[in-house]
A and B are shown apart, each in its own frame.
Chain A
Amino acid sequence: MNGGLIPFGAPPKEDAEGLRDSAALIRSGRAAGASWRFELDEMEWRGLQESLSADPLSFIGLWCDGDAVQALFADPRQGGDRPLMAVLKLDGARYPGLSGPRPAAASFERRINDLWGVEAMDARDTRPLVDHAAWTASAPLSARPGAATYAPEIPEFGQLPDAVVRSGTLATRGPANGGFAAPAHLRLGVAPGPAGPAVASVESRVGYTHRGVASRMCGGTTLAAADLAGRISVSMAAAHQWAFCMAAERAAGVSAPLAAEVARAALCEIERVFAHLTALARLAQAADAALVSARLFAARETLMRLCGKALGKRTLMDCICPGGVAIGGVASGGDARSEAQVLAWVCQELAAFGRSEVAALRGVWRTTPGLLARLAGLGMTRRAEMDALGLGGVVGRACGRGGDLRLGQAAYGAVQLRPCARTGGDARARADLRMDEILESLELLDSLGATLLAEEADALCAAFPTPVDPCWGFGAVEAAHGAVWYVVGLGKGRVEQVFIADPSPSILTAQEAALVGARALDVDVVTASFAVSAAAVDQ
């Protein structure tokens, strides 16, 4: 199945200012291997660049494969999960960038420049993202990689504000602080403020965990690529694997059995609980609420032990594979019905755990003296900025943005889903939302478990022959931290192209903005409230 979701043939419309409708403009290009991929020439791409400034089309990702740059959008008027891809063949090492009208494109443009040496014109941000002159070559993925550059004597950082230079200090965090999250470095200019020293400038340096995951996927089997998708970030392992498999299945025209889709949804909900418990426990730790933190970590450990005991895996990577799921499971003996039963049992155990322990935990969370007050008003995000970044997930929903990919998914069809939202936009809103989502996911697990038992699945995995003829597919999953998208090109019996969009770089951008003005002693609380996965930023 090569999509078939986007209607063809609508002529480009013009609005009062003479700007064309971006979606129609993309569709007026030449079909490029799938009903949702269109090749534009440079003039058309420039037209797109212009029209985007006055168009609601959501930006999802921008990638390069050496020959072309490819931008993926979703049309909110069509439900938000129907993508549209614009392809521009490169003529030289520059292309008109998209970060002007779509700030979220900036991290993609920076990554493309680092990996391929292909530069975005009119770029909002030209700093390197993952290449900080420690690699064996510059532009390592291009046909002609450059020589290795040597790191400058001091890492290049931007100019510090005058107030910091005159009477401030420099504070740094990471990359190795003895903590357990992936390494990243924060450089904060701190200047005296009315309420004590406050952050005047923020620069994040990432790239410490760049492994080149997407490029490693190309040329291998879909199974090997799915394993790698599960190793982007532990807090979104199942979600990345599902999104990859969804894209590969769409490309190959394979449908996973419905029971497998339900099992995938259940695995993602368990992962969401796990990721939010981790984020909240680390947040409570940063806010010096040691007892709450200990209970949250204990709850996470219970969940992990349960999964370890029943599924043989404490973390949920390697359960989702092309064609369906391969849960294995200590007690299943490998047959589909007992595999589904084992997972259903885990779901229902967790739901029961939610009703007792997690509900009590929420009470402790709310009544711990000073904890909520400590979080209130910290790390404010503004709705307009989140809209500009197109950021969903916890960070977007905590300032009132809607959108949840689960709403349109068949796997969730039989269950009641009411995505939670808050409007505060501060650390407290994000934390409260994570707590709401934990309880909601545990409720969902109860229903998903019941659906799994009722399905009487004969098979949890369809055969997956990788196509020989080139084909393209897309997949999107609501991961714990936001929407994860994959575009996958298959052909010659292997994976040819993989493009990954993860919300983490945009969360990092939101965190940078929210840190400005924070009191120096609140920095760790603010960063913990965003729970950025540096491993997912770097990939």
Chain B
Amino acid sequence: MSSSMIRALFTALLAPAGPALPPVASRSPLVLFHVDSGGCEACGLEVEALKTGGYGLAEAGVEFSASPRLADMLLVTGGCSRMMAPVIRAAWEAMPRPKGLIAVGACARDGGLFPQNYATLGGLENHAPVDLFVPGCPPTPSEILGAVIAVTARARSGSTRDTTT
């Protein structure tokens, strides 16, 4: 199966079909889309806590979307299983530009406790243009929020991505 077909298939699975939004230079509020790519769910749960646990996200104009088509920033948790890789890619490609990619947790960087094997790619490090890695197994919601703010600030100031974290 060609990779474009896989992508098309998963794009269809990802969200209700509809015309892709044209790229928008700056929008308000900041919209995040979360994908769990195969970990223990703790990182995803901490992203959920960031949304629901009184971290002032709504007040700061940050929202989560159920579709990548509306999102400015992709938050990936988990170690990027080979089954989820095309899904992450489809989500990323469905997002309008400009867009950011944050890898949340040790898994999402280099696999953490789950380095590459027959079923998983072992994180996004060598596979995707990640703007910021949030260390931790799992990181706290505040640390994830810090990363979202840092990437947003960096995008506003127009500086390039930093993968040294």
Alpha-carbon distance between A317 and B81 when the two chains are bound, in angstroms? 22
- Of B44, B65, B113, the residue contacting A180 (CB under 8 A) is B44
Question: A315 and B42: CB pair below 8 A?
Answer: yes
Q: Which of B22-39 contact A (CB under 8 A)?
A: 33-39
Residues of B within 8 A of A211 (CB): 38-39, 79, 81, 114, 117, 119-120
Task: For A135, list chain B residues within 8 Å (CB).
Answer: 82, 118-119
| Residue of B14, B79, B82 with most partner-chain A CB within 10 A | B82
A315-B113 Cα distance, complex, nearest whole Å: 16
A154 touches B91 (CB 8 A): no
Structural contact, B1 and A153, CB atoms closer than 8 A: yes
Interface residues on A, range: 35 or more
Q: Does A172 contact B (CB under 8 A)?
A: yes
In contact, B67 and A237 (Cβ under 8 angstroms): no
Q: How far is the CB of A306 from chain B (nearest CB, A)?
A: 13
Given A178-B66, A180-B47, does the pair A233, B40 have CB atoms closer than 8 Å?
yes
A212 touching B118 in the complex, CB below 8 Å, given contacts A176-B14, A176-B91, A314-B46: yes
- Cα separation A457 to B118 with both chains bound (whole Å): 45
**A178: chain B residues within 8 A (beta carbon):** 33-34, 64-68
Segment among A117-125, A181-189, A352-360, A383-391 that sits at the interface with chain B:
A181-189
Chain B residues, Cβ within 8 Å of A230? 40
The residue that B45 contacts in the complex, of A137, A207, A212, A278, with Cβ under 8 A, is: A278
Judged by a CB distance under 8 angstroms, whether B149 is at the interface is: no
Instruction: Determine the chain A residues whose CB is within 8 A of the CB of B53 once the complex forms.
Output: 297-298, 300-301, 304
Within 8 Å CB of A233, what residues of B? Answer: 40-41
Q: Does A136 contact B (CB under 8 A)?
A: yes
In the bound complex, residues from chain B placing their C-beta under 8 Å from that of A308 are 140
List the interface of chain B (C-beta within 8 A of A).
1, 5-6, 9, 13-15, 33-42, 44-49, 51-54, 64-68, 78-79, 81-85, 87-88, 91, 113-114, 117-120, 137-138, 140
A-B contact pairs, 5 of them (CB 8 A): A134-B81, A208-B81, A209-B81, A212-B120, A227-B113
What is A's interface to B at a CB cutoff of 8 Å?
A: 130, 132, 134-137, 140, 145, 150-155, 172, 174-183, 185, 207-213, 216, 227-228, 230-235, 237, 278, 281, 293-294, 297-298, 300-301, 304, 308, 314-315, 317, 533, 535, 538
